[in-house]
């Protein structure tokens, strides 16, 4: 599954996208964030405050409880500040 990072999440992780293959126990967006945060210092920093992280699955906003099964593209980013 493909992950995308934007804004300071991207800067902290140090890349804008990557392919990952999380273990079977990681079923929701919230669990995926927790799993990512344990992958290294840069991830721990990016995801240190999961409450401010927003997520989208296949380009639609989702909550932390959303299931990731079948997702093609999951994006993580800070609160939006467009306009």
Partner 1 sequence: MAVTIRLQREAFDVAAEVAALTAGRADVGAVVTFTGVCRAEEGGEPIAALTLEHYPGMAEAEIARHVEEASVRWPLLGVTVIHRHGRLIPGEVIVLVATASSHRQAAFAAAEFLMDYLKTRAPFWKEVEKASGKTWVGAHRADDTAAERWSAPPPRHQAAK
Per CB under 8 A, residues contacting partner 1 are: 4, 6-8, 10, 56, 59-61, 75, 77-83
Choose between 58 and 65: whose C-beta lies nearer to partner 1.
58
Minimum separation from the CB atom of position 18 to partner 1 (A): 16
Minimum separation from the CB atom of position 31 to partner 1 (A): 22
Choose between 23 and 83: whose C-beta lies nearer to partner 1.
83
Bridge partners of 75, per DSSP, are 4, 56
**Alpha carbon distance 10, 12 (integer Å):** 6
Choose between 38 and 59: whose C-beta lies nearer to partner 1.
59
Minimum separation from the CB atom of position 83 to partner 1 (A): 4
**DSSP secondary structure letters along 28-64:** BHHHHHHHHHTS-HHHHHHTS-GGG-EEEETTEEE-T
């Amino acid at each position: 599954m493909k992950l995308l990072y934007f804004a300071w999440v991207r800067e902290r992780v140090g890349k804008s996208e990557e392919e990952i293959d999380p273990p079977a126990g990681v079923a929701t967006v919230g669990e995926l964030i927790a799993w990512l945060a344990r992958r290294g210092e840069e991830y721990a920093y990016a995801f240190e405050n999961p409450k401010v992280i927003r997520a989208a699955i296949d380009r639609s906003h989702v909550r932390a409880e959303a299931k990731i099964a079948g997702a093609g593209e999951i994006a993580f980013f800070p609160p939006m500040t467009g306009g």
